[in-house]
Structure 1
């Protein structure tokens, strides 16, 4: 990749007709960092239970590029896979996810743990609760908001306006408040 590492940003992208895996394959071929939140889902196939890894939200892909290269890719493959930016409605520009927030999100969502709970961003008001960092365990280094969900204490990492993901139970001794 010919762009500076500092110019790279995480963009939230929408594709049509559940073609997020096709876009991810294209991006992987090009050596472009991307992420699709996935989870295991059980299906009945020929009277047998089959467990398959599928996207949590169809049509959603996070891509790490600079804006110019993202616009080039958007134009290059628009005939095969139409893609659009998810927009920040207040600023009327593409939604950009900060690196630290995205890597915390990937650390939790990329675990494919059945105890991870995905939440719609409209359901939660993440301004309530303390900003925290997990200091130990599987999610060490993850920063988010400490909330009680489904009776357990969890750390929620939110991509504003898109979605949020909550860790499995985190013992309070493994959490420190971030100012």
Structure 2
């Protein structure tokens, strides 16, 4: 296997809040990518407007090879803007496992207001069972069960980057994953 041509999910830092500009460039180039978004109310004049904005500014998840990312970094306008998030143990660009990223997209891909984004340290400190959701809108998602704001939720963590928790999930839709 050639590490530079293998396709994985990579989280990238994008400086100067240009994440939506990078997304537009990647979309036009046919590169799969994801930015967690949510609705916010922004005041414009004396009116409040509901606007879709990134949950975390300067963060884009890209599904491609390191070789392709290097080409993107050399593209006009992105040479000083795009940076890897480095794994502290291996000192290599952080790779997100496919299953983990698909679960993360399934939860954070909806713009539902009941979704709660968490700091990864919060979920790392909680002792929870690994579970699989068997039905409902989050069917197929794998994560850790924990209590957030008084409700039982499933947290999907991307180690060292961020975590997202589902809305309340009924216990009948949760199946424990045995190690």
Establish whether TM, by shorter chain, passes 0.5: yes
Aligned to 1:52: 51
CA offset at residue 7 of structure 1?
2.6
Asked if structure 1 preserves the Cα contact closer than 8 Å seen for 2:133 and 2:140, the reply is yes
CA contact 1:130–1:146 (8 Å) conserved in 2: yes
Separation (CA, whole Å) in 2 of partners of 1:71 and 1:127: 37
| Residue matched to 2:75 | 76
Specify the alignment match of 2:176 in structure 1. Answer: 177
Per-residue deviation at 1:32? 0.3
The answer as to 2:33 corresponding to 1:34 is: yes
Residue 141, structure 1, aligned to residue 140, structure 2: yes
TM-score by length of 2: 0.92
Q: How much is the aligned-residue C-alpha RMSD, in angstroms?
A: 1.5
Contact kept? 1:126, 1:145, Cα under 8 Å: no
Sort the Cα spacing of 1:30 and 1:126 in 2 relative to 1 into closer, same or farther, 3 A.
farther
CA distance in 1, matches of 2:77, 2:125: 35
8 Å CA contact 1:19, 1:81 repeated in 2: no
Report deviation, 1:123: 2.7
Shift of 1:78: 5.7
TM-score (norm: length of structure 1): 0.92
Partner of residue 114, structure 1: 113
Whole-Å Cα distance in 1 between the matches of residues 91 and 32 of structure 2? 25
Q: How far apart in 2 are the matches of 1:81 and 1:166?
A: 33
Distance of 2:70 and 2:176 partners within structure 1: 39
- Aligned twin of 2:87: 88
User: 2: distance between equivalents of 1:79 and 1:14?
Assistant: 11
Contact 1:34–1:61 (8 Å) recurs in 2 = yes
**1:70 Cα shift?**
1.5
Deviations 1:9-46 (A, max 9, x none): 00000011100000000000000000001000011212
Rounded Cα–Cα distance in structure 1 between residues aligned with 2:176 and 2:77: 44
1:126 CA displacement: 5.7
